[in-house]
């Protein structure tokens, strides 16, 4: 599959209403009423800010993990998933200076990112966008969709990941919540 460009534009237009923009680490982003998510060559509306990323290839996940994910995960756009979170993340220079096997050891062997995440599937649907190579302010734009009743589970997932060793390497994070 070719990499898919995705743009998140905050402003007056878009299917999602922005309910909160909370800086977790580092600076926040300007408030706006709505968020438009555009893919590929779709025209982008003008807005207060736009973050860009690409849905890219897998970096760390093993074949076995991928098969388990494929068997459990749900796609985006489920009618009942009327809540979403856009969480832009930037990791430290020290993180990027490590070799891939060292990063995998922190993310999965020691922090159990995917193993923890799997517990919250299929309720939470997700899509990871890579931004680092685009010269963007964040390395990743993470996107999640869930039903209102699954919000407490999503908060619990966030608390567990943010308490992990992997998050010691996160230097910027903003938690943007949405509804439609």
Q: Which residues bind ligand HEM (CB under 6 A)?
A: 58-61, 87, 89, 91, 113-114, 117-118, 120-121, 124, 126, 128, 140, 142, 157-158, 161
Q: What is the DSSP letter of 171?
A: E
> Least Å distance between CB 29 and ligand HEM?
16
Give the DSSP per-residue string, 19-70.
EEEEEEES------SEEEEEETTPPPPP-SEEEEEEE---SS--HHHHHHHH
Residue number of the CB closest to ligand HEM reads 117
Work out how close the CB of 87 gets to ligand HEM at its nearest, in angstroms, rounded to a whole number.
4
For ligand HEM, the closer CB: 13 or 134:
134
Q: How far is the CB of 73 from ligand HEM (least distance, A)?
A: 7
Question: CB-wise, 7 or 125, nearer to ligand HEM?
Answer: 125
Contact 54, 130 (CB under 8 A): yes
Alpha carbon distance 158, 164 (integer Å) = 10
At closest approach, how far in Å is the CB of 70 from ligand HEM? 11
* Number of residues that make up the chain: 180
């Amino acid at each position: 599959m070719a990499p898919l460009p995705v743009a998140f534009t905050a402003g007056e237009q878009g299917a999602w209403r922005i309910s909160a923009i909370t800086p977790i680490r580092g600076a926040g982003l300007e408030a706006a009423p709505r968020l438009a998510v555009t893919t590929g060559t779709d025209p982008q509306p003008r807005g207060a800010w736009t973050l860009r990323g690409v849905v890219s290839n897998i970096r760390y996940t093993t074949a076995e993990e991928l098969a388990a994910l494929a068997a459990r995960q749900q796609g985006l756009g489920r009618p009942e998933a009327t809540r979403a979170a856009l969480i832009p993340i930037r990791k430290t220079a020290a993180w990027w200076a490590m070799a891939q096997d060292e990063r995998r050891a922190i993310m999965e062997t020691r922090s159990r990112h995917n193993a923890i995440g799997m517990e919250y599937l299929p309720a939470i649907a997700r899509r990871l966008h890579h931004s680092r190579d685009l010269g963007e302010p964040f390395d990743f734009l993470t996107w999640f969709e869930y039903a209102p009743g699954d919000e407490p589970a999503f908060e619990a997932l966030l608390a567990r990941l943010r308490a992990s060793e992997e998050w010691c390497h996160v230097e910027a994070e903003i938690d943007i919540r949405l509804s439609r």
